[in-house]
Chain A
Amino acid sequence: MSRLALPLAIGLLAVAFLTGAPAAAQRQDGGDRPMMSAGIAEDRIEVQVNYSGSEIVVFTAMPQPENDTLGLAVALVGKMTPQVMIRHTAQGDQRIQFVAAPEVFVFGEEKAVTDTVTPETMVEAGLSARSAALPRIEELLSPELEAWRTALVDLKTDQGLYTTGRVQFRHFEGGLRRANIELPLNAPPGEYTVKAVAFRNGRMVGESRQTFTLARGGLDATLFDLSQQHGLVYGFVAVFLGALVGGIAAWLQRK
């Protein structure tokens, strides 16, 4: 794996360790069931940069690892931006504006979660891409809302920004689990949230979320900043580059 790549350079992040189950998780646990905590281990989100992409690595400490119904689901969500969608119909174009919807939604779950957790529970846990798009208040009760949300997810999936299953899980001794989240190369810079949710018997028993800022570095960032902040210089560089490459090619042809 080469580190000479230009794609992304992202700041490292420390993730707080949750020692107890969140209130929501505790409410779901019945009195006859043992309490269980889950969370992201006190570690860091490590970003590995190479030519084929970047990864965010999340460590989680899971109690009762021998429990077969215990599973982990993670989602990388961000950055939240307004999104406008157009629907082409025979009667004309319709439009909707989502006040905020994630540019990127990367989701992954362990098999135990796939087998036991219902879609409704996923929505409650904030792990549903469709539910992440927030419409304006007057459109909350629209019967068309689900169709719009589904279309948004489909379009974003086509762009490679919404992905499912691009998270690899690995178990370690002592209940430690690692989730490698593959970051889309076209993920825009901005604020992101990593959610890690533990489920047992189909119920959410713990969650952790941490916000971090995705920033670009190296040549990638230099060119972007130059184009946005020093347009005149960027214009000269662009013309110079074209002339230089063309000149070198012409020179090589003569040789």
Chain B
Amino acid sequence: MLIHLPIAQVAVDPLILVVIGMVVGFLSGLFGVGGGFLLTPLLIFYGIPAAVAVSTQANQILATSIAGVSAHWRERQVDTQLGTLMLAGGLAGSTMGVGVFSVLKAFGIVDATISILYVVFLSVIGGMMAWESINALGKSDGGDPGRRTRFRLWMRGLPIKRRFPRSGLYISIIPPIGIGIIVGMLAAILGVGGGFILAPAMVYLLGVPTRVMVGTSLFQIIFLTGYVTFLQATFNGTVDLVLATVLMIGGVIGARYGAMAGKRMKAAQLRLLLALLVLAIAGRLVYETWFQPRPEYRLEAVA
């Protein structure tokens, strides 16, 4: 059985889309990442035009993030203060990132820059997380990384300190905003929500407990993806609501089971799995960018 997507203008099997939505929703509920870095390539691989895939995944992630965050909210594992600060930085960073994107585009180096940035960030973050979480699993009870790590020594001297009771932190507001700006910029340049960068940054740089990180990350993603969905739908008309609806059905189901699975795992196990996922995406990108043979012919959109 096939259905026609009105904006993507392709015929697809809704069951396959539901399964894709479930897989990404599961990861979203488990790790607190939006899943755009996974959903977009999956949709493109299935034949959805890239512009529609990028825009519509934001709409799907909006729904799964709302569904996912509710479970964490009830367990008081969402730090709204911290999330709001990072969101403010993220929106400012996104705006700056759009400008940087335009400059890169003008110089004709946007594709190369995106690929290199992706590979560098994914590899460094994934590698560090994997190393740390393996050590944590071997040495302790598999909980959160130590609070007094050398990553966080530099934060102590910063001004404008605030207390974040939900995360158990007393830190300057500058690092969360700064992280939000950097993530927002990268999100705008790379075309993803940035959850896979934000999540480890919260744990390792700010010292947010892993379980609070998941809920807070989802909280921030709700607003960011809502913003992106609105902009893409309003100005580009590339959000396919039929595609989004089908993906959402799978996504919210997957997110629920992802959150349930997350409760049964140790924090270090969660971080190790996320690290492996991030490294797998980096590996795939390296292959696609430098090793995958390009098709001899291709069609180009006519302006």
Name A residues whose Cβ lies closer than 8 Å to a Cβ of B: 6-8, 51-53, 81-89, 95, 97, 148, 151-152, 154-155, 159-160, 184-186, 188, 216, 219-221, 223-224, 227-228, 231-232, 234-239, 241-243, 245-250, 253-254
Question: CA of A219 to CA of B7 in the docked complex: distance in angstroms?
Answer: 12
Q: Check A239–B241 contact: CB distance below 8 A.
A: no
**Quick check: is B217 within 8 A (CB to CB) of the other chain?**
no
Q: Check B237–A245 contact: CB distance below 8 A.
A: no
15 A-B Cβ contacts within 8 A? Answer: A83-B302, A84-B302, A85-B297, A85-B300, A86-B297, A88-B298, A155-B298, A185-B11, A239-B229, A242-B62, A245-B248, A245-B252, A246-B252, A249-B255, A250-B66
Nearest B residue to A242 via CB reads B62
Task: Specify which of B1, B225, B252 lies most central, judged by the most chain A CB atoms within 10 Å of its CB.
Answer: B252
Nearest A residue to B66 via CB reads A246
Q: Which of A81, A245, A254 contacts B63 (CB 8 A)?
A: A245
Q: Check A249–B296 contact: CB distance below 8 A.
A: no
Question: CA of A241 to CA of B294 in the docked complex: distance in angstroms?
Answer: 38
Q: Check A238–B297 contact: CB distance below 8 A.
A: no
Q: Check B3–A235 contact: CB distance below 8 A.
A: no
Q: Check A242–B234 contact: CB distance below 8 A.
A: no
Question: CA of A253 to CA of B2 in the docked complex: distance in angstroms?
Answer: 30
**Quick check: is B6 within 8 A (CB to CB) of the other chain?**
yes
Instruction: Output the least CB separation between A118 and chain B (Å).
Output: 27
Q: Check A87–B297 contact: CB distance below 8 A.
A: yes
Chain B hits for A87, CB < 8 A: 296-297
Instruction: Output the least CB separation between B201 and chain A (Å).
Output: 25
Q: Check A238–B11 contact: CB distance below 8 A.
A: no
Task: Specify which of B64, B69, B226, B299 lies most central, judged by the most chain A CB atoms within 10 Å of its CB.
Answer: B299
Instruction: Output the least CB separation between A96 and chain B (Å).
Output: 10
Q: Check B241–A53 contact: CB distance below 8 A.
A: no
Name B residues whose Cβ lies closer than 8 Å to a Cβ of A: 1-4, 6-7, 9-11, 47, 59-60, 62-67, 69-71, 74, 222, 225-226, 229-231, 233-235, 237, 239, 241-242, 244-245, 248-249, 252-253, 255-256, 294-302
Chain B hits for A155, CB < 8 A: 297-299
Q: Check A238–B6 contact: CB distance below 8 A.
A: no
Main secondary structure of the interface of B (DSSP, over half): helix
Given A8-B4, A242-B229, the answer on whether A234 and B300 have CB atoms closer than 8 Å is no
Question: CA of A220 to CA of B8 in the docked complex: distance in angstroms?
Answer: 11
Given A242-B63, A253-B71, the answer on whether A228 and B1 have CB atoms closer than 8 Å is no
Nearest B residue to A225 via CB reads B6
Instruction: Output the least CB separation between A204 and chain B (Å).
Output: 31
Nearest B residue to A54 via CB reads B4
Nearest A residue to B259 via CB reads A253
Chain B hits for A86, CB < 8 A: 297-300
Q: Check B234–A234 contact: CB distance below 8 A.
A: yes
Chain B hits for A227, CB < 8 A: 6-7, 233, 237, 239
